[in-house]
Structure 1
Amino acid sequence: MSGPTAMALGPYAFEAIGFGYDGLSRKVQTPWAEVKVAQTLDQLQWVGPTSEEVSIKGVLFPAQHGGQSSLDGIIAAANAGQVLMLVSGDATLGTIHGRFTIQSVDEDKSYFTAYGEARRNSYTITLKRYGQNDSGGGSTGGILSPILNLFG
Protein backbone atom coordinates (compact mmCIF):
# COMPACT_ATOMS: atom_id res chain seq x y z
CA MET A 1 0.00 0.00 0.00
CA SER A 2 1.16 3.52 -0.78
CA GLY A 3 -0.63 5.33 2.03
CA PRO A 4 -3.66 5.39 4.31
CA THR A 5 -6.74 3.63 2.93
CA ALA A 6 -9.73 5.96 2.68
CA MET A 7 -12.10 3.48 1.04
CA ALA A 8 -12.13 -0.05 -0.37
CA LEU A 9 -14.20 -1.81 -3.01
CA GLY A 10 -13.73 -5.49 -2.28
CA PRO A 11 -9.98 -6.16 -2.24
CA TYR A 12 -9.19 -2.87 -4.06
CA ALA A 13 -8.08 -0.15 -1.63
CA PHE A 14 -8.34 3.52 -2.56
CA GLU A 15 -5.28 5.16 -1.06
CA ALA A 16 -3.93 8.65 -0.52
CA ILE A 17 -1.18 8.08 -3.11
CA GLY A 18 -1.47 5.69 -6.04
CA PHE A 19 -4.99 4.38 -6.57
CA GLY A 20 -6.87 7.29 -5.04
CA TYR A 21 -10.14 9.09 -5.66
CA ASP A 22 -11.15 12.72 -5.59
CA GLY A 23 -14.92 12.55 -5.86
CA LEU A 24 -17.81 10.45 -4.62
CA SER A 25 -21.47 10.90 -5.46
CA ARG A 26 -24.53 8.96 -4.36
CA LYS A 27 -28.05 8.74 -5.75
CA VAL A 28 -30.84 7.01 -3.80
CA GLN A 29 -34.23 6.60 -5.46
CA THR A 30 -37.31 6.32 -3.25
CA PRO A 31 -40.34 6.91 -5.48
CA TRP A 32 -43.90 7.71 -4.48
CA ALA A 33 -46.89 6.47 -6.48
CA GLU A 34 -49.86 8.72 -7.17
CA VAL A 35 -53.20 7.25 -6.10
CA LYS A 36 -56.28 8.75 -7.72
CA VAL A 37 -58.91 9.92 -5.23
CA ALA A 38 -62.30 11.33 -6.20
CA GLN A 39 -62.99 15.01 -5.50
CA THR A 40 -59.60 15.80 -3.95
CA LEU A 41 -55.93 15.94 -4.79
CA ASP A 42 -54.21 12.72 -5.74
CA GLN A 43 -52.71 11.02 -2.71
CA LEU A 44 -49.12 9.85 -2.59
CA GLN A 45 -48.08 6.40 -1.39
CA TRP A 46 -44.47 5.56 -0.71
CA VAL A 47 -43.47 2.40 -2.56
CA GLY A 48 -40.05 1.97 -0.95
CA PRO A 49 -36.49 2.40 -2.16
CA THR A 50 -35.81 1.12 -5.65
CA SER A 51 -32.11 1.72 -6.21
CA GLU A 52 -28.89 3.23 -4.89
CA GLU A 53 -26.04 4.27 -7.16
CA VAL A 54 -22.56 5.42 -6.19
CA SER A 55 -20.04 7.02 -8.55
CA ILE A 56 -16.36 7.16 -7.65
CA LYS A 57 -14.19 9.58 -9.63
CA GLY A 58 -10.45 9.85 -9.59
CA VAL A 59 -7.27 10.48 -11.51
CA LEU A 60 -4.33 8.09 -11.71
CA PHE A 61 -0.78 8.97 -12.60
CA PRO A 62 0.43 5.42 -13.33
CA ALA A 63 4.00 6.27 -14.33
CA GLN A 64 4.67 8.25 -11.13
CA HIS A 65 2.39 6.67 -8.50
CA GLY A 66 0.98 3.42 -9.94
CA GLY A 67 -2.63 2.40 -9.37
CA GLN A 68 -3.45 1.18 -12.87
CA SER A 69 -3.33 -2.48 -11.77
CA SER A 70 -6.06 -1.81 -9.16
CA LEU A 71 -8.30 -0.16 -11.76
CA ASP A 72 -7.64 -3.07 -14.14
CA GLY A 73 -8.62 -5.45 -11.31
CA ILE A 74 -11.92 -3.62 -10.83
CA ILE A 75 -12.57 -3.88 -14.58
CA ALA A 76 -11.84 -7.62 -14.41
CA ALA A 77 -14.25 -7.96 -11.45
CA ALA A 78 -16.90 -6.10 -13.48
CA ASN A 79 -16.38 -8.41 -16.46
CA ALA A 80 -16.68 -11.43 -14.15
CA GLY A 81 -19.93 -10.13 -12.61
CA GLN A 82 -18.53 -10.03 -9.08
CA VAL A 83 -20.43 -8.36 -6.24
CA LEU A 84 -18.05 -6.39 -4.01
CA MET A 85 -18.35 -4.86 -0.53
CA LEU A 86 -17.88 -1.07 -0.33
CA VAL A 87 -16.39 0.26 2.91
CA SER A 88 -14.95 3.62 3.90
CA GLY A 89 -12.94 4.92 6.82
CA ASP A 90 -10.66 2.93 9.09
CA ALA A 91 -11.11 0.03 11.50
CA THR A 92 -12.28 2.36 14.27
CA LEU A 93 -14.56 4.78 12.44
CA GLY A 94 -15.30 2.78 9.31
CA THR A 95 -18.62 2.52 7.52
CA ILE A 96 -19.85 -0.58 5.70
CA HIS A 97 -21.92 0.69 2.79
CA GLY A 98 -23.01 -2.77 1.61
CA ARG A 99 -22.53 -4.95 -1.44
CA PHE A 100 -22.44 -3.33 -4.87
CA THR A 101 -22.28 -4.38 -8.49
CA ILE A 102 -19.99 -2.58 -10.90
CA GLN A 103 -22.21 -1.06 -13.59
CA SER A 104 -19.48 0.68 -15.59
CA VAL A 105 -15.89 1.92 -15.57
CA ASP A 106 -15.01 4.91 -17.76
CA GLU A 107 -11.37 5.75 -18.44
CA ASP A 108 -9.92 8.84 -20.09
CA LYS A 109 -6.21 8.32 -20.69
CA SER A 110 -3.94 11.16 -21.79
CA TYR A 111 -0.36 12.45 -21.94
CA PHE A 112 1.25 9.32 -23.36
CA THR A 113 4.91 8.37 -23.09
CA ALA A 114 6.97 7.43 -26.13
CA TYR A 115 6.10 3.80 -25.28
CA GLY A 116 2.34 4.37 -25.30
CA GLU A 117 1.86 4.40 -21.51
CA ALA A 118 -0.62 6.97 -20.25
CA ARG A 119 0.80 9.40 -17.74
CA ARG A 120 -2.69 10.46 -16.66
CA ASN A 121 -5.82 8.32 -16.43
CA SER A 122 -9.05 9.94 -15.29
CA TYR A 123 -11.71 7.38 -14.31
CA THR A 124 -15.28 7.03 -13.10
CA ILE A 125 -16.59 3.83 -11.51
CA THR A 126 -20.38 3.51 -11.33
CA LEU A 127 -21.79 1.10 -8.74
CA LYS A 128 -25.32 -0.06 -7.98
CA ARG A 129 -26.40 -1.63 -4.69
CA TYR A 130 -26.80 -5.39 -5.06
CA GLY A 131 -29.95 -5.69 -2.96
CA GLN A 132 -31.67 -4.68 0.24
CA ASN A 133 -30.48 -7.73 2.21
CA ASP A 134 -26.74 -6.99 2.26
CA SER A 135 -25.97 -9.24 5.21
CA GLY A 136 -24.70 -11.94 2.88
CA GLY A 137 -26.64 -14.72 4.57
CA GLY A 138 -30.20 -15.91 4.34
CA SER A 139 -32.90 -13.80 5.89
CA THR A 140 -35.95 -14.81 7.80
CA GLY A 141 -39.09 -13.71 6.11
CA GLY A 142 -37.85 -13.34 2.53
CA ILE A 143 -40.54 -11.42 0.69
CA LEU A 144 -42.38 -10.85 3.98
CA SER A 145 -39.40 -9.05 5.59
CA PRO A 146 -40.84 -5.52 5.16
CA ILE A 147 -44.05 -6.62 6.88
CA LEU A 148 -42.24 -8.49 9.66
CA ASN A 149 -40.01 -5.44 10.25
CA LEU A 150 -43.12 -3.47 11.21
CA PHE A 151 -43.51 -5.71 14.26
CA GLY A 152 -39.81 -5.99 15.14
Structure 2
Amino acid sequence: MSGPVTMSLGLYAFEAHGFGYTDITRSLTTAWSSVDVVDRIEVLQWTGPKSEAVSIKGVLFPAEFGGEDNLEGIRAAAQKGEPLMLVSLDGGVFGEFVIESVNEERAYIDPRGTLRKNAWSIELKRFEQAGSGQSGGASQSIGLF
Protein backbone atom coordinates (compact mmCIF):
# COMPACT_ATOMS: atom_id res chain seq x y z
CA MET A 1 0.00 0.00 0.00
CA SER A 2 1.31 3.44 -0.88
CA GLY A 3 -0.06 6.17 1.31
CA PRO A 4 -3.42 6.53 3.03
CA VAL A 5 -6.55 5.00 1.50
CA THR A 6 -8.94 7.72 0.30
CA MET A 7 -11.71 5.56 -1.18
CA SER A 8 -12.46 1.91 -1.93
CA LEU A 9 -14.46 -0.01 -4.49
CA GLY A 10 -15.10 -3.37 -2.87
CA LEU A 11 -11.73 -4.74 -1.78
CA TYR A 12 -9.82 -2.41 -4.12
CA ALA A 13 -8.35 0.57 -2.28
CA PHE A 14 -7.63 3.91 -3.93
CA GLU A 15 -4.51 5.34 -2.32
CA ALA A 16 -2.87 8.74 -2.11
CA HIS A 17 0.08 7.28 -4.08
CA GLY A 18 0.04 4.18 -6.23
CA PHE A 19 -3.53 3.36 -7.25
CA GLY A 20 -4.78 6.91 -6.81
CA TYR A 21 -7.43 8.88 -8.65
CA THR A 22 -7.43 12.39 -10.05
CA ASP A 23 -11.12 12.97 -10.85
CA ILE A 24 -14.53 11.72 -9.77
CA THR A 25 -17.71 12.59 -11.61
CA ARG A 26 -21.17 11.71 -10.26
CA SER A 27 -24.35 11.89 -12.29
CA LEU A 28 -27.92 11.37 -11.08
CA THR A 29 -30.82 11.13 -13.52
CA THR A 30 -34.44 11.48 -12.40
CA ALA A 31 -37.61 11.06 -14.43
CA TRP A 32 -40.56 13.43 -14.79
CA SER A 33 -43.78 12.79 -16.70
CA SER A 34 -45.92 15.43 -18.34
CA VAL A 35 -49.60 15.27 -17.42
CA ASP A 36 -52.18 17.06 -19.55
CA VAL A 37 -54.59 19.23 -17.55
CA VAL A 38 -57.76 20.85 -18.95
CA ASP A 39 -57.47 24.59 -19.42
CA ARG A 40 -53.88 24.79 -18.06
CA ILE A 41 -50.41 24.08 -19.24
CA GLU A 42 -49.28 20.55 -18.58
CA VAL A 43 -48.03 19.72 -15.11
CA LEU A 44 -45.00 17.65 -14.22
CA GLN A 45 -45.11 14.60 -11.99
CA TRP A 46 -41.92 13.18 -10.57
CA THR A 47 -41.75 9.45 -11.24
CA GLY A 48 -38.56 8.77 -9.30
CA PRO A 49 -34.83 8.32 -9.67
CA LYS A 50 -33.72 6.70 -12.90
CA SER A 51 -30.00 6.03 -12.63
CA GLU A 52 -26.81 7.08 -10.88
CA ALA A 53 -23.37 6.87 -12.48
CA VAL A 54 -19.86 7.51 -11.20
CA SER A 55 -16.74 7.99 -13.30
CA ILE A 56 -13.33 7.70 -11.65
CA LYS A 57 -10.14 8.69 -13.48
CA GLY A 58 -6.52 8.36 -12.50
CA VAL A 59 -2.96 7.86 -13.63
CA LEU A 60 -0.67 5.02 -12.56
CA PHE A 61 3.10 5.12 -12.58
CA PRO A 62 3.55 1.40 -11.96
CA ALA A 63 7.36 1.26 -11.98
CA GLU A 64 7.55 3.95 -9.30
CA PHE A 65 4.40 3.53 -7.19
CA GLY A 66 2.69 0.27 -8.24
CA GLY A 67 -1.09 0.06 -8.44
CA GLU A 68 -1.45 -2.27 -11.43
CA ASP A 69 -2.71 -5.13 -9.21
CA ASN A 70 -5.73 -3.10 -8.06
CA LEU A 71 -6.58 -2.07 -11.62
CA GLU A 72 -6.34 -5.69 -12.78
CA GLY A 73 -8.51 -6.76 -9.82
CA ILE A 74 -11.17 -4.24 -10.82
CA ARG A 75 -10.97 -5.50 -14.41
CA ALA A 76 -11.49 -9.08 -13.15
CA ALA A 77 -14.47 -8.00 -11.00
CA ALA A 78 -15.97 -6.31 -14.07
CA GLN A 79 -15.64 -9.53 -16.07
CA LYS A 80 -17.40 -11.46 -13.29
CA GLY A 81 -20.24 -8.94 -13.08
CA GLU A 82 -19.79 -8.43 -9.34
CA PRO A 83 -21.53 -5.45 -7.67
CA LEU A 84 -19.04 -3.67 -5.39
CA MET A 85 -19.58 -1.23 -2.49
CA LEU A 86 -18.17 2.28 -3.10
CA VAL A 87 -17.01 3.96 0.13
CA SER A 88 -15.03 7.18 0.70
CA LEU A 89 -12.52 7.95 3.46
CA ASP A 90 -14.82 10.52 5.07
CA GLY A 91 -17.34 7.77 5.82
CA GLY A 92 -19.51 8.37 2.76
CA VAL A 93 -21.15 5.16 1.59
CA PHE A 94 -22.28 5.62 -2.00
CA GLY A 95 -23.85 2.16 -2.27
CA GLU A 96 -23.31 -0.80 -4.56
CA PHE A 97 -22.13 -0.22 -8.10
CA VAL A 98 -21.38 -2.38 -11.11
CA ILE A 99 -18.42 -1.70 -13.36
CA GLU A 100 -19.61 -0.80 -16.85
CA SER A 101 -16.16 -0.20 -18.32
CA VAL A 102 -12.45 0.00 -17.55
CA ASN A 103 -10.39 2.05 -20.00
CA GLU A 104 -6.63 2.38 -20.11
CA GLU A 105 -4.18 4.50 -22.06
CA ARG A 106 -0.77 2.89 -21.65
CA ALA A 107 2.17 5.11 -22.51
CA TYR A 108 5.93 5.48 -22.14
CA ILE A 109 6.98 1.87 -22.56
CA ASP A 110 10.72 1.67 -21.94
CA PRO A 111 13.18 -0.43 -24.05
CA ARG A 112 12.72 -3.37 -21.63
CA GLY A 113 8.93 -3.28 -22.18
CA THR A 114 8.20 -1.81 -18.75
CA LEU A 115 5.08 0.32 -18.57
CA ARG A 116 5.88 3.76 -17.16
CA LYS A 117 2.46 5.48 -17.29
CA ASN A 118 -1.12 4.21 -17.43
CA ALA A 119 -3.98 6.72 -17.56
CA TRP A 120 -7.21 4.90 -16.69
CA SER A 121 -10.90 5.47 -16.15
CA ILE A 122 -13.62 3.35 -14.59
CA GLU A 123 -17.32 3.85 -15.34
CA LEU A 124 -19.72 2.68 -12.63
CA LYS A 125 -23.50 2.44 -12.47
CA ARG A 126 -25.62 2.12 -9.30
CA PHE A 127 -26.79 -1.43 -8.65
CA GLU A 128 -30.24 -2.07 -7.22
CA GLN A 129 -31.71 -5.52 -6.65
CA ALA A 130 -35.07 -6.09 -8.35
CA GLY A 131 -37.80 -5.15 -5.88
CA SER A 132 -35.42 -3.38 -3.48
CA GLY A 133 -36.66 0.14 -4.24
CA GLN A 134 -39.15 1.97 -2.09
CA SER A 135 -42.72 1.29 -3.04
CA GLY A 136 -44.87 4.15 -4.16
CA GLY A 137 -47.74 5.70 -2.23
CA ALA A 138 -50.44 3.88 -4.23
CA SER A 139 -49.13 0.42 -3.37
CA GLN A 140 -48.74 1.43 0.29
CA SER A 141 -52.35 2.61 0.38
CA ILE A 142 -53.61 -0.64 -1.12
CA GLY A 143 -51.93 -2.54 1.73
CA LEU A 144 -54.00 -0.55 4.24
CA PHE A 145 -57.38 -1.81 2.98
TM over 0.5: yes
Aligned residues: CA RMSD = 1.8
- TM-superposed CA distance for 1:115, in Å, is 2.6
Give the structure 1 partner of residue 4 of structure 2.
4
Structure 1 gap segments, 5+ residues each: 134-138
Structure 2 gap segments, 5+ residues each: 141-145
Give the structure 2 partner of residue 70 of structure 1.
70
Q: 1:125 to 1:143 in 2, by over 3 A?
A: closer
Give the structure 1 partner of residue 36 of structure 2.
36
Q: 1:143 to 1:59 in 2, by over 3 A?
A: closer
- TM-superposed CA distance for 1:143, in Å, is 6.7
Count of matched residue positions in the alignment of Structure 1 and Structure 2: 138
| AA in 1 matched with 2:29 | Q
Q: How does 1:10-89 map to 2 (within 5 A)?
A: 10-89=10-89
> Whose strand fraction is larger, Structure 1's or Structure 2's?
2
Give the structure 1 partner of residue 135 of structure 2.
145
2:113 is the alignment partner of 1:123: no
Structure 1's consecutive aligned runs of 4 or more residues displaced over 4 angstroms after TM superposition are none
Q: 1:145 to 1:3 in 2, by over 3 A?
A: same
| Cα deviation digits, residues 49-75 of structure 1 (max 9, x gap) | 010000001000011110011001100
Give the structure 1 partner of residue 99 of structure 2.
102
Identity of paired residues, percent?
A: 50
What's the TM-score, normalizing by structure 1? 0.84
What's the TM-score, normalizing by structure 2? 0.88
In 1: Cα distance, 2:133 partner to 2:87 partner: 27
